[in-house]
Chain A
Amino acid sequence: MKTPVAQPAPTPAASVSEFIATFAVILGVIVALLLFDTALARVDIRGRKSYAAREFRTGEQLLSQGKTEQAIEHLRTASTLDGDNSAYGTALAQAILADGRPDAAEEMLLPLLERNPTDGAANLAMARVLAKEEGTEEAKSYYHRAIYGLWPQGAHENRTAARFELIDLLARTNAKQELLAELLPIQDDSTNTKAQRMSIAHLFVVAGSPSRAVAIFRELLRRDKPDADAYVGLAEAALSLGDFATARADLLLAQKLTPEDTSLQARISVTDSVIALDPTQLGLSQPEQYRRSRNLVQMTLAFTRKCLAAQAPQVAVALDSASALLVSPAPADGRAQSIQQALSVAQSLWGLQRTRCAPAPADGVLALIQNRIAQ
């Protein structure tokens, strides 16, 4: 019969030499494993990085083809495989933003910026996200961080591009002072291309500094061969300055250079209309000035009434009665005063509609004349 009593296992007793030999072998194994692991880790990292780079390229390609969802998948894989490369995470966030999910893009960018607050690309992406989410003030701040942030490659080009995006945002939000502040540092940048200089000049007009725009356009015309766009720009600046005759002359020069551009004729017609209606034009007789100022009041009233009739009918009725009084014939000796009164009323009405109604097109006849009067 077998004994049911368990026999205790004999305790192995190693000798001193075995003890040392065992330790020596273990230490040898540790060193060998350290070398093996390090080599294997390098292979692994290389493999992951190259796979991630492939996925990134595919993602970017798909994104440029407008296949956003597929691009996101590839960019996400790239970002997961190589989390250290913030370019992948940033590209993924941009793709998610392009997919119309600014919230998710923002969540993705936050840890990247936490890890590296000076990352130019991540700051630019965050600025775009915030601009999309209508967080204009925060977006401006991130644009500035992108401009002054670190870019591993093409720093100057990327910073300029970031600044132009910021300028575009400022122009869209009509932040004229800030726009001017952004334009001034880059107006004399010698690395700017002709297209960029042209754009800067146009933006100076938007920022309310047409004289700077004129200087840039003239410089461009002096340096390069005659260019229709430069003349159109000059015309825009002249219109902004209220110099309608010069604007017309510049538009005619542009038309001469590009006769096939039909839009120029429309612009010339607008300029002609402005010249024909402008009550402040030099050399006009007083009756003509009087006629033009009354006409201007009527035009402004009609424009304002159209907008206010829907919003505030009682104001529109009041305007009707006011117009009846204002356009009543004035005695010949009081015409100078009447002209001033009419212009003043026209300005007030224009100001009223600007606060209450959707903005009128800046290049419209009425807007141009009102702008001129305001100067």
Chain B
Amino acid sequence: MPAIRVAVLPPRLRKLVEDLRRKEDRLSLLLSLVIGALVGLVVVAFILLTGRLAAIMYPAGGSGWRRIIVPTLGSLLTGYLLFKYFPLARGSGIPQTRAALFIHDGRISLRSVVGKLVCCTIALASGIPLGREGPAVYIGSGLASAIAQRLGLSRLQVRSLIPVGGAAALAAAFNTPIAAVLFSLEEIMGDLHAPVLGSVVLASATSWMVLHLVLGDNPLFHVPGYHLVSPWELGTYVVLGIVGGLSSVAFVKMLLWLRARFLRLPRASLWIQPVAGGLTVGILGYFAPQVLGVGYDQVERVLNGDIILKAVVLLAALKIIATSVAYASGNAGGVFGPTLFIGSMVGAAVGTVAHMLFPASTAGPGAYALVGMGAAFAGVIRTPLTSVIMIFELTRDYTIIVPLMISNLLAFYISQKLQKEPIYEALAHQDGLHLPHRASATRSELQRVSTAIRESPGYLDPEMTIAEAAERVTDSVFESWPVADELGLVGMVRIRHIAAAMDQGKQKMTIARLMQIARRSAGNRSVDLPHVHNDQPLSRALARMRDNGHNVLPVVSRANARIMLGVVTFADILKEYGVESPDELDYRDQPDL
């Protein structure tokens, strides 16, 4: 980057910049505008490039074989690029964004952003049936993170810009500014009351304006005005909610099951795995071209009432298979778009049957396709509020909002019952990441472990003798000490137990052996590695202390539970809650927990 010499800067400008850097709210405002505009333009370029490239790859009147060859070659190319250059660009982008937020202090590299853009453009243009919205969120968050890092902002500020970039990206990708804000807060942050709300709204609005400036005022889908024909029709929407919920569960379970199988394959085959997805998609696309690509054209047709029952049922099933295989095999792309596709087909099928049975008291199948989209979104992505607003914004049709809410909530409830873990959390788990569940982020749990964390007193080696350990912990005010080997933390040992071993003349016994004996005698109360994470509420830390009998817990990284960030003590937690501790906590005065 070209450096401007400070000496040549006019003093007033220099002062202005310094003021700006000092006043976080002003800087945040400015950055929201800049990020909104930049991300909006990048996402628009992403959409247009994908569309143009797809038009070149699939020219009018092209041979049917092209539908097999292009996705196969596309996935081969992206597979190689992902393996060799951009390993973080695989998949949707939402779990990676959340990982960046909760594990890496909001840091996303520009390289992975470029990788995501390139790989997704190739994959989606070649007909891989994945969505562009998840990758767009990653690209947006990544750009925001890169800008913040480049400007030398604090870790907290970098983190706070992740949802800002994500919202801007979704507003441009889906043309849904309000839903983008809600999604950022509901899914990425996991907290609808997050303090970044203002910045998120501003970035989303700016991005949306940029989109309109370049592409004009067009909703993603043009839909005729549907309405509730009779109050009895709500019963049919209840059925749609149930079917939508079950379809969502089937889709999520299939995708996760297939992905688990692919993850077990040797690492050396990582570059070729996406071809399995590309070839499957190609074969399905040879017989049913509608399966290829995101499929929004097909969705629009169905929303406008162009429905044949057998065709929509078949397309829903084929899309579930194609998307699951394509995603699980490691192609780049998200699940937003396919979810809407599957939902619209399922809705259209339910609507067609309902209209055949009760033609006088039900709306056309197009209305059910519309509600079906929302139900599938609520069932798969598990953001019920976002899904209602998103469908409203996508179609700009307010009249169907009540049936939409009913179906969405039912689908959400069924999905929650039958598939405990939401899709993005399950995907992160498969990658070994333990991301926080948004349900845990309630107002009463805003006091985090990070507020009470203190530096670790040090650590003991498992091979250390009791005598060496006793010498090390002399005069310690902690009840327990961390034990770590070369790979990291292995557990906690109580000083009381060290002292007891000393008294029994077992000076030569190792700490590892002592821990083993203590674990055995503790029985059910013991866990291998009692710990908490930095972003967990203090109430969780207290519960852990109760369960494990320690009044000191290690605070560990979410990316690797054996990396210790510090410790949290019972006394410090009490202090955070405003309860005065009589004296500095001394393990010798504490009852046995």
Which residues from chain A sit less than 8 Å from chain B, CB to CB?
1-2, 4-6, 9, 11-23, 25-27, 29-30, 33-34, 36-38, 40-41, 43-44, 47, 51, 54-55, 76, 80, 83, 104, 107-108, 110-111, 114
Chain A residues whose C-beta falls within 8 Å of the C-beta of B214 in the assembled complex: 34, 37-38, 41
Assuming A4-B563, A20-B17, A114-B225, what are 4 further A-B pairs, CB within 8 angstroms?
A: A9-B107, A13-B152, A33-B45, A80-B301
Contact B564 A30 (CB under 8 A): no
Chain A residues whose C-beta falls within 8 Å of the C-beta of B459 in the assembled complex: 4-5
Contact B37 A40 (CB under 8 A): no
Cα–Cα, bound, A130→B37 (Å): 48
For the complex of A and B, the 3 pairs showing the least CB-CB separation, nearest first, are A14-B152, A33-B41, A4-B488
Cα–Cα, bound, A321→B134 (Å): 90
Residues 540-575 of B contacting A (Cβ, < 8 Å): 557, 562-566
Contact A110 B564 (CB under 8 A): no
Given A5-B564, A41-B214, are A19 and B48 also a contact pair (CB < 8 Å)?
no
Chain B residues whose C-beta falls within 8 Å of the C-beta of A107 in the assembled complex: 224, 304-305, 364, 366
Chain B residues whose C-beta falls within 8 Å of the C-beta of A51 in the assembled complex: 55, 60
- We find that the number of chain B residues with CB closer than 8 angstroms to chain A is 67
Contact A110 B152 (CB under 8 A): no
Contact A22 B45 (CB under 8 A): no
A selection of 20 A-B contacts at a CB cut-off of 8 Å is A2-B486, A4-B482, A9-B107, A11-B155, A13-B152, A19-B21, A26-B147, A27-B34, A37-B214, A40-B45, A40-B48, A41-B48, A41-B215, A47-B55, A55-B60, A76-B301, A76-B306, A107-B366, A108-B305, A111-B224
Q: Mark B470-510, 1 if CB is under 8 A from A, else 0.
A: 00000000000010111111000000000000000000000
B273 to chain A, nearest CB (A): 32
Residues 15-58 of B contacting A (Cβ, < 8 Å): 17-18, 21, 34, 37-38, 41-42, 44-45, 48-49, 51-52, 55
Cα–Cα, bound, A21→B2 (Å): 7
Closest A residue to B486 by CB, please name it: A1
Chain A residues whose C-beta falls within 8 Å of the C-beta of B14 in the assembled complex: 16
Cβ contact of B41, chosen from A21, A30, A111, cutoff 8 A: A30
Cα–Cα, bound, A123→B366 (Å): 23
A18 to chain B, nearest CB (A): 7
Cβ contact of B152, chosen from A19, A29, A36, A83, cutoff 8 A: A19
Chain A residues whose C-beta falls within 8 Å of the C-beta of B222 in the assembled complex: 83, 111
Contact A16 B17 (CB under 8 A): yes
B300 interface residue per 8 A CB criterion: yes
Cα–Cα, bound, A198→B484 (Å): 105
Closest B residue to A81 by CB, please name it: B297
B399 interface residue per 8 A CB criterion: no
Cβ contact of A22, chosen from B1, B48, B51, B60, cutoff 8 A: B1
Chain A residues whose C-beta falls within 8 Å of the C-beta of B566 in the assembled complex: 5
Chain B residues whose C-beta falls within 8 Å of the C-beta of A108 in the assembled complex: 224, 304-305
Cα–Cα, bound, A110→B305 (Å): 12
Closest B residue to A29 by CB, please name it: B38
B420 to chain A, nearest CB (A): 30
A204 to chain B, nearest CB (A): 42
A353 to chain B, nearest CB (A): 38
A58 to chain B, nearest CB (A): 9
Cβ contact of A11, chosen from B150, B154, B562, cutoff 8 A: B154
Chain A residues whose C-beta falls within 8 Å of the C-beta of B18 in the assembled complex: 16
Chain A residues whose C-beta falls within 8 Å of the C-beta of B482 in the assembled complex: 4
Chain A residues whose C-beta falls within 8 Å of the C-beta of B60 in the assembled complex: 51, 54-55
Most buried by A among B14, B41, B486: B41
Cα–Cα, bound, A76→B1 (Å): 50
Given A1-B486, A12-B149, A80-B301, are A30 and B34 also a contact pair (CB < 8 Å)?
yes
B349 to chain A, nearest CB (A): 17
Cα–Cα, bound, A6→B103 (Å): 12
Closest B residue to A35 by CB, please name it: B41
B461 interface residue per 8 A CB criterion: yes
Cα–Cα, bound, A55→B297 (Å): 15
Cα–Cα, bound, A40→B9 (Å): 37
Chain B residues whose C-beta falls within 8 Å of the C-beta of A12 in the assembled complex: 149, 152
Cβ contact of B565, chosen from A6, A44, A110, cutoff 8 A: A6
Cα–Cα, bound, A2→B560 (Å): 15
Cα–Cα, bound, A107→B222 (Å): 12
A62 to chain B, nearest CB (A): 14
Given A4-B488, A4-B563, A107-B364, are A17 and B9 also a contact pair (CB < 8 Å)?
yes
Contact A1 B461 (CB under 8 A): yes
Cα–Cα, bound, A44→B17 (Å): 40
Chain A residues whose C-beta falls within 8 Å of the C-beta of B576 in the assembled complex: none
B6 interface residue per 8 A CB criterion: yes
Cβ contact of B564, chosen from A6, A41, A114, cutoff 8 A: A6
Contact B1 A110 (CB under 8 A): no
Cα–Cα, bound, A178→B222 (Å): 38
Chain A residues whose C-beta falls within 8 Å of the C-beta of B484 in the assembled complex: 4
Given A37-B48, A107-B224, are A22 and B4 also a contact pair (CB < 8 Å)?
no
Given A37-B214, A41-B48, are A17 and B305 also a contact pair (CB < 8 Å)?
no
Chain B residues whose C-beta falls within 8 Å of the C-beta of A1 in the assembled complex: 461, 485-486
Cα–Cα, bound, A20→B107 (Å): 21
Closest A residue to B484 by CB, please name it: A4
Contact B151 A110 (CB under 8 A): no
Cα–Cα, bound, A16→B13 (Å): 10
Chain B residues whose C-beta falls within 8 Å of the C-beta of A18 in the assembled complex: 1, 3, 150-152
Q: Mark B442-486, 1 if CB is under 8 A from A, else 0.
A: 000000000000001001010000000000000000000010111
